[in-house]
């Protein structure tokens, strides 16, 4: 399994660098809220269905993934601003990558942001669950692409 010593995708590295530049945990939380406010509005309540709901989160979190020109585009929403910020961080870092690139991202990159120090255990678990769901959706698109290539 790769570690964060391996190069991360540029989009995710940029997000991590933003958090690294924050001098303290309060500033990192403010940055999460900023990410939450920038998150595109979730398309519709029609997408708030069980297959898009992230399991294991205390907050209500939904994530969708579409494939455009071989790249995954994520959208998400949460009823909690901090969790919405975590969703937005992941969307900004992972959208626009190929399914293969997303699948290869190791989960320990959160340590590089410094957020792991101040997140509650339930939020850390939620972050991991959101990330895992995004990887699962990327894998589903990769499998669909493979099947289409065979036909």
Active site residues: 57
* Contacts with 78 (C-beta within 8 Å, 6 or more apart), sequence order: 57, 59, 60, 61, 62, 84, 86, 87
Per-residue DSSP letter, 61: E
Q: Say if CB 82 and CB 29 are below 8 A apart.
A: yes
Task: Go through the chain and tell me how many residues it has.
Answer: 151
């Amino acid at each position: 399994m790769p570690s964060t010593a391996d190069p991360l995708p540029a989009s995710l590295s940029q997000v991590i660098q933003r958090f690294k530049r924050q001098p303290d945990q309060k500033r990192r939380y403010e940055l999460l809220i900023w990410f939450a406010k920038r998150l595109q509005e979730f398309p519709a309540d029609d997408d708030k269905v069980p297959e898009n709901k992230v399991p294991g989160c205390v907050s209500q979190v939904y994530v969708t993934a579409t494939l455009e020109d071989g790249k995954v585009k994520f959208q998400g929403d949460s009823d909690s601003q901090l969790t919405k910020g975590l969703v937005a961080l992941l969307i900004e870092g992972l959208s626009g990558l190929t399914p293969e690139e997303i699948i290869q991202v190791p989960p320990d990159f959160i340590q590089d942001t410094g957020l792991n120090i101040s997140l509650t255990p339930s939020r850390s678990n939620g972050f991991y669950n959101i990330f895992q769901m995004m990887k699962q959706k990327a894998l589903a698109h990769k499998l669909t692409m493979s099947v289409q290539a065979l036909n």
